[in-house]
């Protein structure tokens, strides 16, 4: 055969040295080349220049000369077809790794992350498929830096703060689970307030129930993530009034969980309740102490089952770690019918200074969650006007000069823990109808165990 000077078979002592190729020009190109040539197995065993196949505008070979180190002109499937070797597929260079950049941080393609209260994901752009986007949910969050900064810059007489316990929570969650009082029904709103006779000049410019009745006013509690303000404000007010009426003989912490779990008819548990139904239940079935019926719903998000049978006179509860036999006469505390105070600020103040704190229904705006100190009124700076009803205790009032002008306020005990606001309290403008604070105010007299035994 006519052998090209460039294709030389190296023979040594009758032994053909087999050397697998290290690098080939055509390696990695897929297709059948040697397999489709017309001379069958003759090319693999021979030294025939005509055993060539067109490829990429030139020729590649399928003869025995390919079995040498320098095999740049061999067809890509020679070793598989002629030598029966597994094809060596070249490693393709990896595609460019797609990523997203958001607020100074890179996120890999497909990665998810929580940004405050919104779930985000690095995804392909719907408009530009070759690009990525960091796509996030659009929930309004309780904590929003823009709102905090706007309130503080406006110098409204109160300041806002970032509360870590609210971070990552949606505003919807806050309005549902950090409030929890349902708007009174029309028939309840028509309830006539009691008539008061007093000298308006007897009302001081400031008053704090904690000062007049030291040790008898309930501390601020935390309802957790359960819309149970209807139960918390009710039992806290009942505890205040019972301690005041009994002249300190019955200073008790009554159980919000008892009311929440057992007053379930017509109520919505952790999604809200009616105050009038809470007081009716309190009057008919009563409530035990917190130490015997501890609060759990703020952590579980459920109302739990009622542990006190309505019809049985005796029952057992675990009080301070010890199982105790109890009876309804000596261990349950009852309320008398609740009564309404008029919207007149003087009437409300007179009731507080003579009988103790009162219960009020307020409208919670977005920015109230951010309140740190000062005399609150809505900033109207939130992009949403969604609100929710909440019930609290008014324990006093006062005045404070802001920009050389006396600002009157109510002193209110909230149920969001002592790490919120002014040690759990907040002050709100008085006598202006702000957040409906004077619109529906309730008071009550309790039945003390001492009077029952007499």
List, for residues 237-253, the tens digit of each pLDDT value: 999 999 999 999 999 99
pLDDT band of 71, cuts 50, 70, 90: low
CA nearest neighbour of 279 among 181, 194, 394: 181
What is the pLDDT, as a whole number, of residue 13?
A: 40
How many CB atoms neighbour CB 370 within 10 A? Answer: 25
172 labelled catalytic: no
Q: Inter-axis angle of helices 275-285 and 229-245, to 10 degrees?
A: 50
Residue 133 tokens, joined: 């986007």
CATH number of 171-447: 3.90.70.10
pLDDT band of 40, cuts 50, 70, 90: low
414 labelled catalytic: yes
CA nearest neighbour of 182 among 260, 288, 270, 275: 275
Judge whether residue 72 has pLDDT over 80. no
User: Where do the domains of the chain lie?
Assistant: 11-81, 99-136, 171-447
Point out the catalytic residue in the list 2, 264, 414, 423: 414
Query: What is the per-residue pLDDT across 388-417, written as a single tens digit (0 to 9) for each?
Result: 999 999 999 999 998 788 999 999 999 999
- C-alpha triplet 194, 233, 264: angle, nearest 5°: 100
Length of the chain in residues, anyone?
A: 454
Q: How far apart are CA 129 and CA 127, in angstroms?
A: 6
Judge whether residue 7 has pLDDT over 60. no
Q: How far apart are CA 19 and CA 71, in angstroms?
A: 10
Q: How far apart are CA 413 and CA 396, in angstroms?
A: 9
Point out the catalytic residue in the list 152, 313, 390, 423: 390
Of 41-50, 159-168, 443-452, least confident by mean pLDDT is 41-50
What is the pLDDT, as a whole number, of residue 79?
A: 80
Of 39-43, 52-56, 284-288, 328-332, least confident by mean pLDDT is 39-43
Can you list the alpha helix ranges (DSSP code H) found in 69-168? 78-81, 145-154
pLDDT band of 81, cuts 50, 70, 90: confident
Of 93-97, 143-147, 183-187, 366-370, least confident by mean pLDDT is 93-97
Query: What is the per-residue pLDDT across 336-395, written as a single tens digit (0 to 9) for each?
Result: 999 999 999 999 999 999 999 999 999 999 999 999 999 999 999 998 889 999 999 999
Q: How far apart are CA 272 and CA 266, in angstroms?
A: 10
Residue 131 tokens, joined: 């690009």
């Amino acid at each position: 055969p006519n052998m090209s000077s460039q294709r030389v078979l190296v023979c040594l002592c009758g032994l053909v040295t087999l050397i697998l190729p290290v690098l080939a020009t055509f390696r990695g190109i897929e297709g059948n080349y040697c397999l489709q040539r017309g001379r069958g197995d003759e090319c693999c065993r021979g030294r025939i220049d005509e055993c060539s196949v067109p490829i990429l505008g030139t020729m590649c070979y399928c003869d025995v000369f390919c079995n040498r180190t320098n095999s740049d002109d061999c067809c890509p499937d020679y070793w598989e077809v002629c030598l029966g070797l597994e094809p060596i597929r070249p490693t393709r260079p990896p595609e460019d790794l797609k990523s997203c950049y958001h607020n100074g941080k890179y996120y890999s393609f497909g990665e998810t992350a929580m940004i405050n209260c919104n779930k985000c994901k690095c995804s392909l752009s719907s408009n530009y498929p070759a690009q990525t986007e960091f796509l996030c949910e659009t929930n309004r969050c309780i904590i929003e830096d823009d709102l905090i900064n706007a309130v503080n810059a406006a110098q409204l007489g109160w300041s806002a703060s970032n509360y870590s316990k609210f971070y990552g929570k949606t505003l919807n969650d806050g309005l549902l689970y950090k409030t929890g009082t349902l708007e009174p029904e029309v028939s309840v709103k028509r309830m006539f307030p009691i008539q008061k006779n007093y000298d308006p000049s007897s009302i001081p410019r400031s008053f704090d129930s904690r000062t007049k009745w030291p040790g008898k006013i309930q501390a601020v509690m935390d309802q957790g993530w359960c819309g149970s303000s209807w139960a918390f404000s009710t039992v806290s007010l009942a505890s205040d009034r019972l301690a005041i009426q009994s002249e300190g003989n019955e200073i008790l912490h009554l159980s919000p969980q008892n009311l929440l779990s057992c007053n379930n008819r017509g109520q919505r548990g952790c999604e809200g309740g009616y105050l009038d139904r809470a007081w009716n239940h309190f009057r008919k079935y009563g409530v035990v102490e917190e130490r015997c019926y501890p609060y759990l719903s703020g952590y579980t998000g459920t109302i739990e089952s009622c542990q006190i049978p309505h019809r049985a006179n005796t029952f057992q509860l675990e009080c301070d770690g010890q199982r105790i036999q109890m009876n309804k006469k000596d261990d349950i505390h009852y309320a008398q019918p609740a009564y309404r105070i008029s919207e007149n600020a003087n009437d409300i103040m007179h009731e507080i200074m003579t009988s103790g704190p009162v219960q009020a229904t307020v409208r919670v705006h977005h920015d109230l969650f951010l309140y740190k100190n000062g005399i609150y009124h809505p900033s109207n700076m939130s992009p949403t006007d969604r609100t929710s009803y909440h019930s609290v205790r008014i324990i006093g009032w006062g005045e404070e000069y802001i920009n050389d002008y006396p600002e009157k306020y109510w002193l209110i005990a909230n149920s969001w823990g002592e790490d919120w606001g002014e040690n759990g309290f907040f002050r709100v403008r008085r006598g202006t109808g702000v957040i409906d604070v004077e619109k529906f105010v309730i008071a009550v007299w309790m039945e003390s165990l001492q009077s029952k035994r007499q």
